Amino acid sequence: MQADRRRLNPPAGGTAPPIFATPPNQPPFPAPSAAEKQTSTGSSSYEPASCPQHQQASENILVPAQRSSLKITCTVHGPRPLPRNAQFSPNLLLSTHVKYAPFATRNRRGYVRDSSERDLGAHLDTALRGVIIGERWPKSGVEVVITVLEGEEDGWWGDEAGRQEGGWGMMGVLAGCITVASAALVDAGIDCVDVISGGVAAVVQDAEHKGERQLVLDPCPAEHGKLRAACVVGYLQSRDELTECWIKGDAGVEVESLVDEAVKAASLSRTVLVEAIKESVQMKIQNEEVQDVNGRAKDGKGTKRDVEMTG
């Protein structure tokens, strides 16, 4: 009798399904190893300093105050080798991913990236490509993942009549993404030509100033009546170069002044960025020294002795 190869024949005798029982002295699932964990190589967070007056005012009312409350986190994964079937690349392949949390804005965001989030990722990719020294990691890739926990609104949502549309809040978000991504790249130990900082400036026209156009550094759309134009730059101060420049709106004859003010805002952000990087490096060095001292303090029985540290 010839077997039918078009189907799977069942066994001749009866079978019972296998039962996987866990021994009583072992945990139900073993702890994952370090290689199995999807940990990030570098990370950073961005949050503007809170003003005591704004904080006290926001505690007394349910509607948030007219101030910036941008909160961004960034993780860097890599450099990691590309798959074996990938085409050879002499430079490091950069991948940027920007996503708003569903609760980041007043209008709830979806779980799939929309066009504005893809635009932010493209602008961020352009800004970082001129910073990373890619030829040091052939056939490798790095992924920069940014999550916006609280974004900038286009206007103060407590006043629906004065709310303005146009995506002006994206400009401040992009500047923050550039700065926080630079800090995460440094934390990951990826070689860069310089730390890059993002800066934003805008041309505003408020009724308080009799409708005159003014240049404002690091604008918050909720604090101003009308935004006529805005500019975001990614600035390398040591080289005096721009890796990214995005101008939106009608700046008119004030284009050069608008770019100069955005560069000034980026220079001010760089001062805070450098201090944060120095503080992070010092904390890492102190932790490594403590671990080294504790490791040397072990005796033959494996116990640790008390170590006195003086600052």
Give per-residue pLDDT as tens, 122-147: 999 999 998 999 888 888 999 999 99
The confidence score (pLDDT) of residue 294 equals: 72
- Of 16-30, 112-126, 145-159, the range with the highest mean pLDDT is 112-126
pLDDT given at position 93: 92
User: With 80 as the cut, is the pLDDT of residue 308 above it?
Assistant: no
Q: 135, exposed or middle or buried, with CB in 10 Å at 0-12, 13-18, 19+?
A: exposed
Using an 8 Å Cβ cutoff, are 98 and 117 in contact? Answer: yes
Residues with Cβ within 8 Å of 132's Cβ and at least 6 positions away in sequence, in order, are: 92, 94, 142, 185, 190, 191, 192
pTM for the full predicted model? 0.75
Between 115-129 and 169-188, two packed helices, what is the crossing angle to 10 degrees? 50
Q: What is the pLDDT of residue 212?
A: 77
Question: How far, in whole angstroms, is CA 303 from its chain's centroid?
Answer: 41
pLDDT of 53 above 60 = no
CB 98 within 8 Å of CB 120: yes
pLDDT score of 161: 44
Minimal CA–CA distance to 238: which of 193, 273, 206? 193
Is it true that domain 71-153+167-293 has CATH number 3.30.230.70?
yes
**Structure tokens of 15?**
């079978």
Sequence-distant (≥ 6) Cβ neighbours of residue 71 within 8 angstroms: 45, 46, 47, 148, 149, 150
Give the model confidence (pLDDT) of 24-34 as tens digits. 665 554 554 44
Sheet holding 42-46, edge to edge: 42-46, 71-81, 140-150, 93-100
> In which order are the strands placed within the sheet that holds 197-205?
213-217, 197-205, 227-236, 241-249
Distance of alpha carbon 266 from alpha carbon 175, whole angstroms? 8
